[in-house]
Each structure stands twice: as C-alpha cells, then as structure tokens.
A and B are shown apart, each in its own frame.
Chain A
Amino acid sequence: MALTTNVTCPFCSLLCDDLSVRSDHGQLDVSANACRLARQGFASPLPPAEARLKGIPATDGQAVKAAAKLLQKSNKPLIAGLGTDVDGIRAALQLAEKTGAALLHAQERYGAHNLNALQARGGIMTTLAEVKNRADTVVLVGNNVTGDYPRFMERFINNPHSLFTSQNRKLAYLGRPGRRELDECAGHAPVVISGHGIEIADNLALLRARLAQGRPSGGSSTPAAKTRKLDQVAGMIRDAEYGVLVWSPAALPQDHADLVISSIHDLLRDLNTRQRCAGLSLGGSNGGASFQTVATWQTGFPAGIDFRNGCPSATGADTSDADCLLWVSAFSGEPPPALDAPTIILSASRSGAADADVYIPVGIPGVDHPGNLFRTDSIVNMPLKKVRDSALPGAARVIRDIISETEGKPE
C-alpha cells in the first residue's frame, strides 16, 4: 500500500493539493479533506486497457491507425470535450493543425461569457491566495456559485489562517445561495439579495449607482426591504479594505450571463478609482482553464479555434457540420453528444465505447499519470502526480501516436 501526500486533485479547477491518497491494488483511498467530487473521481474504476473498434476489441495500434484514417478522410473534423491536462491539450492543438480540425472545449460556452467581457473592456481580477489572505468583504453573484467547487468556502472563506484579515469577513450574496453554501457561511451572517434572471444584473446596477453617488437611490419600484439590503451591501463594499466579487459563469442565468459579468466589471472599474476591489471567476474545470491558456499562447486565440484554412482563426466553432468527431474525456469519462458522424473516443471510462467507431482508453491526469493543469484563476498551474498503478497512457501520448500515424511515420 503506497501513500502519496500533497496530491493535487484534478476534479475541479480549485486543484486542492492537500490530499493524501493510499493506493491498494488499484483501489484508491483519499484522505478526509477530499470533497465528494474528489472521492467520486479518485474512486472511478480503472477501465480495462483495451481499445475497441465499433465495439470490438482491438489493439492500440489498430485503434490509432483507424483514428488517423478517419481524421484524414474527414473534411471538417472536430476535436471536442478536451477534458485533459496541459500536455494533452498541446497534443490536441497539434493534431488539429495537422488535420485542419476545429477545437471546442466542453466548458467553452461558460468560459465564453468571461471572454466576451474581458475582450470588450478588460477587467480587474484576483487569485485564490489574495481572497484567502486579503478579502475582508466577499460578494457572491449567481445561484449556488460555489456548488461545483465544493471546498471553496472551507479553503478561502472559512480559512483559519490569514495574513491580513480577521475571521469575521463580511459576506453578501446576489442571487440564490445553495443549501451547503448557506450552512458553510452561516457564521458570516451573509446579506442575501435574492433575485432571478435579469434581476441579478438589475441589482448590480442598483449597487453601482449607490456606490457611484454615495447616496441611496433605488427607483420608487424597489421594495423597502430590498432597498435596505442594497444600502447595507453598498455600505459593506464601500468600507471594504479589499473586496472581492465572486461569480461562476455556469452559475449565472445563462441568458443574462454576459450582462451580469460586464456589470461586475463596470462596478469594479468604478470602485478601483478610490478603493481596492477585484473579481474572481470560478470555472474552467475539466481542463477548461488549461485549454484557454494553452490555446492563447500557442495560437493567439482562446476559444472556438478552427484550423480549417491552415492557420488558426477564431471564427467560433460552429460544430454542427463536423463530419468526424474526436472526443477527449480523461477526467469525467462522460460520453460525447450524439453526432451523425464517425466518432473517436479517448476516455477514462467505457461509456459510449460500444457505439464509437474507435475507442481508446486513456488514464486520468493526476491519477494514472503525472501532468499539470491551470487553476480557475488561470495564473497558477499545479503539478499532478501519478497515484494509481495503471498502464493506461495519457491522452497526449495517444494523440501524438495518431499524429505520427497521419504523418506516416511509425512511432
């Protein structure tokens, strides 16, 4: 039984690295501080190391050849899912370039909300250690903002040690808190201004007006109770030494997410003319933050990249016309969306394998092989360890084998 400490958990973009993992004949046992997502992730069964062609067992070599052939035959290949680590993404970008493919990350529709705001006007952002040590006032914006980031409250809001702030940081919530969130932040007596859909953006605008003018204003239609809360939250923000607004694009009403995020940035730009306040977005799990970062440095484009003309472009991948899909899902192992085209799956689970033209099992980064991933703040990159005895290759290896095959070179 091998025990590995300081293990980075790859199952959400917080990338907590304080886990210990005990491995016993492929069975993994994670330490108590692992959250439900981590326990579930580390418990994923090891799929048999056996490739399949249309559901029939095949050797890796046969599968790689078949995948290369499908991609080469295709006019509009699509590489999607992209749930993999930095090296897997680097390999996928190279394969896309070679085969003239478009690339689409599974998280992209959420990430796009942030990118739209950033590329239009920019932003004022912060990172997790600054929240932990500096934020004396935190405003969460959205519905169950930290729901998909189970240890956010524990590690960055209820942290026992902090360089600059005391235990009683002030908390507010614009939107609908999740039940677990409410329990976890009960000690901070959060001011909750609930609202649905566009109301979240409206409330941000009301807050901004108050903070800009330094006097309450709320339009006559605003109920008195809400006016009181808005004044209270505005006061909290105004008095903050270092305020942080936290949102998650996926936890915003999707029809209004762009508006909410740009309202947050407008508010932050206003506030920073006289005080310090910054934003933190939670997103980019399953390699999403890594895809955006690596794609940006390698191609100049963060999302919706299409290599169909030999050079990358940001035409926004309209994927409906794809005539071949390479689906990479090394973390969750979820199957690809139904597509009426030949499908190649590189996945950490067998789900969908029976229907795929080609299925090649790959290891989970940070479980079956080492690697690294970018965190939700896109600045910190965490190393991943191998903690399980397994012979499964990483997606990067398999993709590079496919590249060699398309080049006609034996690996």
Chain B
Amino acid sequence: MIKLEGGRVYDPVNGLDGKLMDLYIEDGKLVKPAAGKKVRRVIGLNGSIVMAGGIDIHTHIGGGKVSIARLLLAQDHDDNRVASSALTRSGSGSIAPSSFVTGYRYAEMGYTTCFEPAMMPVNARQSHLEMADTPMLDTGAYALLGNDDFLLRLLNSGKEQPLVNDYVAWTIHAARAMGIKVVNPGGISAFKFNQRKLDLDEKNNYYEITPRNVLTALLDALEAIGVPHPLHVHGCNLGVPGNYLTTLETIAAAEGRPLHLTHVQFHSYGAEGDRKFSSAAAQLAEAVNLNRNVSIDVGQIMFGQTVTTSADSMMQHKGHIHAHPKKWVCMDIECDAGCGVVPFRYRDRNFVNALQWCIGLEIFLLVKDPWRIFLTTDHPNGAPFTSYPHLIRLLMDKGFRNDMLTTINKDAADASILSTLDREYSLYEIAIITRAAPARSLGLRNHGHLGTGATADITVYKPDDDAEAMFATPEYVFKRGELCVRNGKVCAIPATSTHVVEPEYDPGIEKPLKSYFDRYMTMSLENFKLSREELESYNQHSLLVHDCKQDLSADDAD
C-alpha cells in the first residue's frame, strides 16, 4: 500500500472540496486503510492539491486526419524535435505532436485519459494503432456515423428505428468505440454530391433526408441501446456567422434527449455589427442553462499557429481560403465520411479571431452548471492541448483575463462582455470540468474521482498563485497507482487501456450489412470488424468495457 499523506483533496464526485486527508493506493486502486495492510511507502504531500487524473473528452490524437495534419506541418516537426531517453521514445512537433510525444506531454500536465472524438469506423484500426502508440494514457474513441451511406440508405428507405439501433450498436462493436459522434449530419455526404452548405432542414441532393432526420435517428438509437455518453454532435454550419440559430434549433431538435454539443464556441456566432460577426455566447449559454439534457465542450481558441482537422470536409473545403500556410487537404473517404485539414494561425490583432477567443471564454463563464461543460480546445483545432494550463488560468484569474483582454483587437474586446464577467472558477470547479464531469458523461464509474475502489489515476499539484504554472507542472502523477510523472517529467511508462462499450444488438443486422459490403464496399464485412483480440494485440493494450443502460447518478460512483 502507498500512502499519500496530507493532501488537500478536490474530488467533486465525492463532495470533497479541498479536504486535508490521506489517500491509500493498492493494486492500482484507491483503498481504505485497514489493519493488516502494510504501508510500503509514504509520500508526504504537505498540503498539495490532489485531484483525479485529467480526462480529455475531445482531443484529436488518433487517426488518418491527424497524420495528414502532421504531414502539412513539416516545419513545426523540424523545429521541435524530441530526442529519446533511456525511458522515453523520440518524436517531434508542438501542434500535432507525434504519438509518443503526445502521450508524454499529456501526462506531464496531469492527464491520464483521452478520447479521440472522430474515429471513422473504416479507419478504426489506424486510430487504435495510433492510440496504442500514445503512451501514458488510457484512450477511447467515438465512432463517426451519420454520413455513411449505409445509414443514409436505411433512413432514406424509411427503415424502422430498431434496425438503426442495431446498426449503431453493431458499429460501436466493429470499431471498438466508446460512443457515437455525428459531424455535420449528412453534410459530408452532401458535399460528395457537390452541396456546399446544409441547414438543419435542408435535403441532401441525392437522399430524401435532412440533418434533422439523421440527428433524430441517432439520438433515438443511443437512448435505445443505453450507451452512457450522449450523442456527440458537431452540428451544421460550423464557423458560419449567425450559426447560433442552427445550434439553438439543434438543441430544440433533441426534444429533451441527452445531447452533447462539441466545440460549441465554433457554433455560437452571431451576424451582428459592422463586420457581420458577433458573439452569441449569451444566447447559447442561456439555452444550455435551460436544457438540462444538454452538455457542451467549448473548443477554446488560443492565438498562434495551429491546424484545423475535421471530418467536416464540406466546411473545411469552404475554409481553405484561410489556410496558413497556404496548403490544405480534403478527402472523401470510403462512403463512410471524409476529412479536411487546414493549417491556421489565430491572430490576436484580427477582429474575428480575437472575438472567437472572447466567445469561448464567455461560454465558460456564462454556463452555470460545471457538470455539463468540459474544458477543451478541440485539440488541435482551437489550440494544441498544451495550452490547457493557460486556459485554466484564464478561467480562475479575472485580473489575468482582463490583462489579456487589453492585448487583443480592441474592437473585439469592446464588442465582448468579457470584461464585465466577474466569475472565477474555483479549484473544485476546475476539478469538475477537467475530470469529474467528463467521467460521468462517459459512464466511467472508476475514473474521475478518488473514492474507495476508484482507479488510482491521481494528479498532485503544488499550490501556486499562478494557476498556469501550477497546472503545467504537477508534482506527482500516478497512473493506475504507478508513479509515472515527477515534477512535470515522465519517470515511468505505465500500462494503459482502451475504454469501450459493448451495447447489445440483434446479430440479424449482419445480413443486410453483409450484402451491402459484398456489393458496394471494398472489403468483406469480416475484415471491417476490429476484434477484441486484435485490438488487445496492439501493444498489449487491455480493454476496459463499461456498462450500458446504467443509471449514473453521483452517489453510485463508489
């Protein structure tokens, strides 16, 4: 047993708000001290801050489009080469770092679990292979549906919902996923038919269906098969001024069903003002506050060079005119989805970029319930994940935030209500939006908290008035009870797992699927499916299967 002595524990799942206490670790879990259990090692924490390991609910770390991004950012990789050590592998890159470096950097910030949000089922092998090469982290992924021709044909022919449910559950198995994401519902398909925009109620040129039909079918399916994480939605009209109306309509379309709106900053734009671009953060936050079925992650932007990488080929193609440097890739993929990769530099002196920065922060500060908002930059789309400590300081430190506000485009700063928002996140709230809430949303019972029986993924920070410095360099990080980061540097490479769910389905779905694959696809149904055994063979990754149809209230967490 390891004893962590005298830490101030921030564990919102168990209602601990900085309580000074000891924690005990045995066999990778948090345990109660008991007579007969020997303490092998005592680590004195002297009042340092203790939280569960960080959980990133939305970060692009695995799959084809990330590698395309790396190819386009050759200069960044040249400029940021990382040598190997006796312990760690080499790599490169600061924006979309290579896989090993990604794992080390996340762990060095105190994160222990990351979810790739846009895994095309046909690209599942690559996504999981790449994540298996991302050390230090447990990983998982959401399978993309909603632009695949199999589903669009089902909907187009008016097939019954149970068939859709079976297909969705089958896909989660086939791709070894943790949930389902839909990107520009039906819009990636529409782009293949040369449509350049698709509103919520606009029909596909080929199929007699609309994004609303796709959304509804997937929302119903996830409810029916009991996947804990709600449908992860990247809505229509990403980045378009005035798109907040679409976002509000999307919330309404959910009709109370659980819905997760991702990188909502990119979907909260008004079209007011001289430049026909304005913040609709207030309207968005009001809707989130009112609709308790809705959760969001923000997709905060930060100033500097990054790369936008998305399955939304339609909107990425449209956005290519802003590419910096001037190169970009669009791809139509396998009647499954697509992707677009556009390097981009956010500039603090640019009105639109500066206002995007404000909009993200406004959303963070206006949404009241921290259990329904998660900290993300949509890595690398808004900014690389390494900017999280800076973002946390912006949320916790009003003085710092207002100082930053004076450095950005003045018209944008004037147009934003940011300077009037006094809220400062507490450590307790930061623990919610970076660990506890993502874990609850995903249905992870043993992660994101420090109760007895929880997996001992633990991060210890030395208190510092500068929250950025504090969150950038944890004193200790434990992965499954193993000390793996000391003073912000990797000191051991722990074993990791892949998180999946395995909802039930009627195997009869394989009959229409087999005939579809045999006629139209370029591989057999058998080879499309990624088996448990195959996934486990990648770097001896173990699988963590989470329950479906579970009732996740705060009190069953222990």
Could you list which residues of chain A lie within 8 angstroms of chain B, going by C-beta atoms?
6, 8, 17-18, 86, 90, 94, 97-98, 115, 118-130, 132-134, 155-156, 161-164, 241-242, 272, 275-276, 278, 293-294, 296-302, 307, 309-314, 372, 374, 377-383
Contacts and interface: CB of A to CB of B under 8 A. Distances in A.
Contacts of A118: 71-72, 329
Of B84, B122, B334, which is in contact with the most chain A CB atoms at under 10 Å from its CB?
A: B334
B122 A380 contact: yes
A129 B70 CA distance: 25
The winner among A162, A312, A313 for most chain B CB atoms within 10 A is A312
Q: Is the interface of B mostly helix, strand, loop or mixed?
A: mixed
Interface in B154-194: 191-194
Interface in B100-144: 100-101, 120, 122-123, 125-126, 129-130, 133
B54 to A, nearest CB: 22
29 contacts: A6-B524, A115-B71, A118-B72, A121-B327, A122-B323, A124-B329, A125-B329, A125-B331, A126-B331, A127-B331, A129-B334, A130-B192, A130-B334, A133-B335, A134-B335, A156-B522, A164-B206, A276-B193, A298-B133, A299-B91, A299-B98, A300-B93, A301-B74, A307-B90, A311-B82, A311-B90, A380-B122, A380-B523, A383-B125
Interface in B77-98: 77-78, 81-84, 89-93, 97-98
B84 A311 contact: yes
Contacts of A377: 334
Contacts of B527: 6, 8, 17, 382-383
Interface string B516-552: 0001111110110000001000000000000000000
Contacts of A163: 149, 335, 520
Contact of B81 (A155, A276, A312, A374): A312
B513 to A, nearest CB: 14
A381 B526 CA distance: 13
A310 B193 CA distance: 48
B522 A297 contact: no
B293 interface: no
Given A6-B527, A312-B92, A293 B335 contact: no
A155 B330 contact: no
Nearest to B66: A297
B203 interface: no
B64 interface: yes
Contacts of A125: 329-332
Contacts of B402: none
A301 B520 contact: no
Contacts of A301: 74, 77, 92
A22 B78 CA distance: 49
B333 interface: yes
B333 A383 contact: no
Nearest to B519: A161
Contacts of A300: 70, 77, 91-93, 97-98, 101
Given A275-B194, A298-B99, A299-B91, A379 B126 contact: yes
B327 to A, nearest CB: 4
Contacts of A302: 71
A116 to B, nearest CB: 11
A97 B100 CA distance: 13
B67 interface: yes
Contacts of B317: 272
